[in-house]
Structure 1
């Protein structure tokens, strides 16, 4: 064996920030949450030992130790496949809850587009604002997907809903283009004159 973790291996991470700056506790919590860690108890969590996770955990442990905290990571393998499946189901449930939040908030963007169009307010400023909102949804979805190690069932529905909103924004943008520059609403090929 090369010492590299197999995909089905796990990491148990234990971190204590006692005696370290208060800001370190928040940094550790944010990093572990961003990786999708499953807490087993306070200060002890579990993550799949994927190469990108192992790298991030090594960096986190170095940071904790350099700032006066204590941290340890231990490789682990489940001996009971049912227990491993239960952990995977719990991680998938956490991701599904995050995907559900995306789905819960997305209708507000879609409704805003519909309302602005109904008011005849399809403008470049509205397009720009809605693009920024859609970009936030894409970014949020990408962050969730990065910690969705086991393809939680809610992921596809959330991705489809964001893509549907992107299509609605494209239609809104076309309406804004027609309203603000009616001659340019449909792209035309024009002959270029040469001297």
Structure 2
């Protein structure tokens, strides 16, 4: 039996509760990176922030007429635990891959605007907002990446590369503005 990490087995039913609760539960568990074992039953590592969030969610479910069980558990088979960790890592890697799939759009936009001679402050602001959305998205994925999925570093590196390209673009915009005030 392994002692680290401990796990939470979560079972939630929103039957008899307001319809909106089902969506709230799904969103919260999804944001935490829950691994569903079957409908309404999922698994999460028992990290302190996760335990706190799951307890709050269970209380909300109960107060709104649903039922929730949160059980602490440990695996008796280390191979089974590693299999679950691999599934969680694969889910995070899929999310990191989506970041990597979408980043080229931002980088292409910067290159296209520069090629058109359209390096302006307005374009810098727009691209900064896009970059901030990528950073926020990446931070949300990283918050539920409990075991350091392999794809995380590539996604972080790609976002930082986009930030470097934006800095070059911003410099070009500043030079263009100084030439044509």
TM over 0.5: same fold?
A: yes
2:83 pairs with 86, 89, 96, which one? 86
DSSP 3-state at the match of 1:152: coil
Distance 1:37 1:114 in 2: 38
Q: 1:182, CA displacement in angstroms? A: 3.8
Distance 1:73 1:53 in 2: 12
Q: 1:183, CA displacement in angstroms? A: 9.5
Total equivalences in the alignment = 179
1:99 pairs with 89, 96, 101, which one? 96
- Which structure 2 segments of 5+ residues have no match? none
**Equivalent position of 2:166 in the other structure:** 169
Runs of 4+ with deviation above 6 angstroms: none
Partner deviation per Cα, 1:77-128 (whole Å, 9 max, x = no partner): 0000000000000000000000000000000000000000000000000000
Judge conservation of contact 1:122–1:173 (CA < 8 Å) in 2.
Answer: yes
Distance 2:54 2:4 in 1: 16
Distance 1:94 1:130 in 2: 28
1:58 pairs with 49, 55, 60, which one? 55
Distance 2:126 2:64 in 1: 41
Judge conservation of contact 1:7–1:50 (CA < 8 Å) in 2.
Answer: no
DSSP 3-state at the match of 2:148: coil
Judge conservation of contact 1:7–1:48 (CA < 8 Å) in 2.
Answer: no
**Equivalent position of 1:152 in the other structure:** 149
**Equivalent position of 2:127 in the other structure:** 130
- The 5 A counterparts of 1:67-82 are 67-82=64-79
1:35 pairs with 32, 35, 42, which one? 32
Partner deviation per Cα, 1:132-168 (whole Å, 9 max, x = no partner): 0000000000000000000000000000000000000
DSSP 3-state at the match of 1:12: strand
Distance 1:136 1:155 in 2: 17
More helix by share: 2
- Which structure 1 segments of 5+ residues have no match? 1-5, 185-195
Distance 1:133 1:9 in 2: 37
TM-score, normalised by the number of residues in structure 2: 0.97
Q: Over aligned residue pairs, what C-alpha RMSD do you find?
A: 1.2
